[in-house]
Structure 1
Amino acid sequence: MSLWPFIKRLTPCMLLLLFMVPSGRAVEASDLLECFLKAKEHDPRYRAAYHQYKAEQTLPKQSWAQLLPQVQGSYSSMNYDYTKAPDFYENYRGESFNITLRQPLFNATKYLDLKQNKQRALSGELRLLDTKNSLMIRVSEAYFKHLHAVDNLKVLLEEEKATAENLRMVKFLSDAGEATLVDLHDAEARKAEVYFRVIDASNQAEITRQELERLVGEKIDSIAPLSGDIPIVQPAPENVQDWIEGVKEKNPIVKYYALTSDIAKDELNKQKAQHLPILDFVGLYSDRNTNNDTETAKTRYYAGGFQISMPLWTSGYTSYRVQEFRERHAQTAKEYERVLSDAIQNLRSSFLGVCTSISKVKSAQAYLTASQTALASTKIGYQSGVRTVVDVLNATSNMYKAKTELLQVRIDYVVEKLKLLYWNGKIDENALAEINGYLTGKE
């Protein structure tokens, strides 16, 4: 049974799918850097990290304030009504006004708290930087995933057009008695198979577009494609160990976990400091007045001196707190080891990914050139009678497969290069702008 009538019935659907491909209308294509800058203003994960960073910048100021003089005032006015008392007792009203000044002189807990909060402010800065860097990766992956889906759809549409031309040629030859029914069915099957791949690719292009729009926060009509001559170069330095050495010093998430371990150590010391005495200077001003028949004279006085306090017995509470934070410090140390190990392993994978992608790009370029030559030779061979229609169809399919693979490995190279910079801690907007220069019209 011929498949061609079925394909003809699908043609209206095909026309609808074509409208999903970015058209040649006068709409400026969004580039990678533009998408990232828009995502910075929209992405909830980054915005949450930004507000957390702003909040944590106030922590050192809070600690400093606790070390400065604290002034507290109080006023009370009380009416005293006797219900049972000697006859000479009369109801009266008493007033008092007090101002207390307290200046910490020695408080190890508060000084350690200041040190901790300075570290927390720095850790918030590192967390925000890592969130921004990871946003670059998320936007880049979404951008190039959508770009590959669009490019793949374009190649499939070209292949669909080529298979349609082959089908028309085979039908003509079949009507002339120069092609067999098997050749006709084979051409129809390939036409249908490519068409269904077009449907799947069109769906994938729409899904990836929506994923990118979710990050960017606005509609994306089209994106700038990769230029045909992007620089494919080995990572510099070429030794992976040189890249690994920069992880501890430059990767913000690794530095964040190292700082978290230091904060936990200070928390342990802070709990130990609960055993130490606290010394404050205390100043007091008091003004009292009692309005009754037996009242003493109105009193007003100033007082000042040193106050020392020290816990004598807490039923083991402080000791248990010390034990708790000793374990928490050990926990954060192991978490740092895990994060460092993960970062190094991911860096190794990205480094290998870049090197492998370079080889794949060269191989895919050679594959495409060879497949184009093979297709041209097969067509000549078919015209000479030494090749069959099936040979032409196979050569056509191989050529478009080579195109698709080249598109994929070029994108893989760019994404792996960005990931390598991310894990090493070198990624920033300048690095993203360099990748943005690889796009058509963005040099």
Structure 2
Amino acid sequence: MRFWLLCGAALAGTMVADTASADTLREALLQAYNVNPTLTGARARQRAIDEGVPIAKAEARPLVDSDVTFQQNYRGISPFQDNGRSISAGATASYPIYAGGRIKNSIRAADTRVSAGQADLLATEGAVFTETVAAYMDVIRDVSIVELNQNQVKVLETNLQASRDRFDVGDLTRTDVAQSEARLSDARSRLTVAESTLTTSRENYRRLVGLLPGMLEPPPPLPTLPQTPNEAVRIALDNNANLKASEENAKAAGYDVRTARASRLPSLSASTGVSYTDYLGTLDNVTGSAAGLNPKDAFTDSFFGLRARMPLYQGGGPAARIRQAQALQGQALEQVIEVERLVIADARSAFGRYMAALETIESSQQAVAANRLALEGTRAENSVGTRNVLDVLNAEQELLNSQVLLVTARREAYVAGFALLNAMGQAEMRDLGLDGGTLYDPIVNYKRVRNKAWDWSDDPAPTTQATRTATPEEDPRAQGPVTPPSN
């Protein structure tokens, strides 16, 4: 759903921003996608889940061991009575031929958990993007509210000065001046609260995006959303990543039950090996033979064998592990129902919030227009003496309240609309069509590691991908190297 390619439409009224130096929602989402620690951490977690497949496959591969032993023998317990010495080396290889389905099902479970983890990663993307959109819109809303309150303070300061001038000439009473002073003090306190709220929103934006916001552009319009809650639920049940992840986890739990059952079944393995022992010229001492009776001091041996194992009784452990796996499978199945309920509730509630916000926008626009007209009329009537100062102050406050409500409703509509996209599984990076570099593809790492069979193919030491937001003035670690603790 490439709605980011649509033309951005400026929000009307108080939400218009200076676009010459503005940040965009696309840039904010790209920045969050690349350096948000929740996302980068989720990718690292998924890479760890990927390693479950080669770990499970290792059980199906040959196992090769080697050993070297040096041994000095003594007569009795005296270290001075040499009874010979030897050095031996050997290598053995074993291979599982049949394990009752344990290895096969553990590989299937690991593969299925990779699919679940990939769905979880998409869900994390959607959640982070929804948070980022909300933070972006919070900043736009709070900037607008601060500007409205700043304008209100200026208007009330002008009103107060006019009231004092009219009081000086006897046109108004002291009560009128006091009412203007009280309303100005209230407006200043409201401005302080609005500025504090804006600071909180800016810091929340920085927490998610990694940078403080500049002048933010209005967001692009949302795509066409479902017309009914039932349609939204249907799309969500088909596409929601959390639901897909829970279904895959339940499937993996079923493979775990089969893996546990294999512990009661027979197994067959093959092994082979070779060994070499050298008595270093002391074989006669080791065997107690007369000197010179053993012409050879070095021996080589090799073997090949099959080992079949049929467990008869294991103290009830296998049955307990099977029951445990079955209970965990039951929990996973119940989790599917729980997530399904949550998806339905999220889709319906987001749809309801979106529709309510749209209706609030329409009514608020009418209220702003009506209150602006009422204020103009009240001021005109006050100038001819048919309205008092308190009437003007009340009309100004009513206009401010309706403007704030309109700004808030626009924020609520956009955030609820994007939350509905997320609930429907349409708020991940692949859906948004953001241009700005190569997308992270978890399948690439999965294909890279799934068939690795070399013991020394570890990766480089990890480094952080997310960016820090602490400044040098705030972070004592930025003042110089930290001295390591002494041993």
C-alpha contact 2:63 2:94 (8 A) present in aligned 1 = yes
1:272 aligns to 2:261 (yes or no) = yes
1:367 is matched with 367
1:295-374 equivalence runs, <5 A: 295=294, 297=296, 298-374=298-374
Q: How big is each residue's C-alpha offset from its partner over 1:101-123, in whole Å with a ceiling of 9 and x where there is no partner? A: 22222121111111111112222
1:224 is matched with 216
Number of aligned residue pairs: give it.
404
Equivalents in 2 of 1:47, 1:231: separation in Å? Answer: 28
1:50-199 equivalence runs, <5 A: 50-83=43-76, 91-107=83-99, 108-199=101-192
2:444 is matched with none
Shift, 1:221, TM fit: 5.2
Shift, 1:211, TM fit: 2.1
Shift, 1:28, TM fit: 3.9
SS at match of 2:216: coil
Structure 2 residue aligned with 1:292, among 277, 280, 283?
283
1:18 is matched with none
- Aligned residue type for 1:222: G
TM-score, length of structure 2 as denominator length: 0.77
C-alpha contact 2:237 2:344 (8 A) present in aligned 1 = no
The verdict on how the C-alpha distance between 1:292 and 1:305 changes in structure 2, with shifts beyond 3 A counting, is: closer
Q: How big is each residue's C-alpha offset from its partner over 1:169-219, in whole Å with a ceiling of 9 and x where there is no partner? A: 22222222222332222111111111111111112212222222222333x
SS at match of 1:246: helix
SS at match of 1:91: strand
The verdict on how the C-alpha distance between 1:289 and 1:398 changes in structure 2, with shifts beyond 3 A counting, is: same
The verdict on how the C-alpha distance between 1:338 and 1:136 changes in structure 2, with shifts beyond 3 A counting, is: same
1:389 is matched with 389
C-alpha contact 2:123 2:428 (8 A) present in aligned 1 = no
Structure 2 residue aligned with 1:205, among 186, 198, 219?
198
Equivalents in 2 of 1:30, 1:330: separation in Å? Answer: 48
SS at match of 1:242: helix
Shift, 1:27, TM fit: 9.5
The verdict on how the C-alpha distance between 1:51 and 1:65 changes in structure 2, with shifts beyond 3 A counting, is: same
Equivalents in 2 of 1:198, 1:380: separation in Å? Answer: 27
Deviates more, 1:300-309 or 1:109-118: 300-309
The verdict on how the C-alpha distance between 1:38 and 1:116 changes in structure 2, with shifts beyond 3 A counting, is: same
- Aligned residue type for 2:229: V
SS at match of 1:67: coil
* CA-based RMSD: 2.6
- Aligned residue type for 2:319: S
Shift, 1:296, TM fit: 7.6
SS at match of 1:116: helix
Deviates more, 1:313-322 or 1:380-389: 380-389
- Aligned residue type for 1:152: I
1:441 is matched with none
- Aligned residue type for 1:91: N
The verdict on how the C-alpha distance between 1:25 and 1:377 changes in structure 2, with shifts beyond 3 A counting, is: closer
List gaps (5 residues or longer) in structure 1: 1-23, 435-443
1:4-43 equivalence runs, <5 A: 28-43=21-36
Equivalents in 1 of 2:111, 2:377: separation in Å? Answer: 72
Shift, 1:285, TM fit: 2.1
Shift, 1:386, TM fit: 2.9
Equivalents in 2 of 1:26, 1:362: separation in Å? Answer: 25
Equivalents in 2 of 1:43, 1:296: separation in Å? Answer: 74
The verdict on how the C-alpha distance between 1:248 and 1:221 changes in structure 2, with shifts beyond 3 A counting, is: closer
Equivalents in 2 of 1:384, 1:146: separation in Å? Answer: 42
C-alpha contact 1:39 1:217 (8 A) present in aligned 2 = yes
SS at match of 2:226: coil
C-alpha contact 1:27 1:221 (8 A) present in aligned 2 = no
Equivalents in 2 of 1:311, 1:146: separation in Å? Answer: 66
Equivalents in 2 of 1:141, 1:26: separation in Å? Answer: 20
Equivalents in 2 of 1:262, 1:236: separation in Å? Answer: 32
Aligned-pair identity in percent equals 21
The verdict on how the C-alpha distance between 1:84 and 1:168 changes in structure 2, with shifts beyond 3 A counting, is: closer
SS at match of 2:97: strand
2:237 is matched with 248
The verdict on how the C-alpha distance between 1:84 and 1:44 changes in structure 2, with shifts beyond 3 A counting, is: closer
| Greater RCO, 1 or 2 (C-alpha within 8 Å, sep 6+) | 2
Equivalents in 2 of 1:183, 1:231: separation in Å? Answer: 46
List gaps (5 residues or longer) in structure 2: 1-16, 435-487
The verdict on how the C-alpha distance between 1:221 and 1:416 changes in structure 2, with shifts beyond 3 A counting, is: closer
- Aligned residue type for 1:344: I
C-alpha contact 1:167 1:184 (8 A) present in aligned 2 = yes
Shift, 1:78, TM fit: 1.6
Q: How big is each residue's C-alpha offset from its partner over 1:316-342, in whole Å with a ceiling of 9 and x where there is no partner? A: 111111122221211121122112211
The verdict on how the C-alpha distance between 1:221 and 1:53 changes in structure 2, with shifts beyond 3 A counting, is: closer
Shift, 1:410, TM fit: 0.5
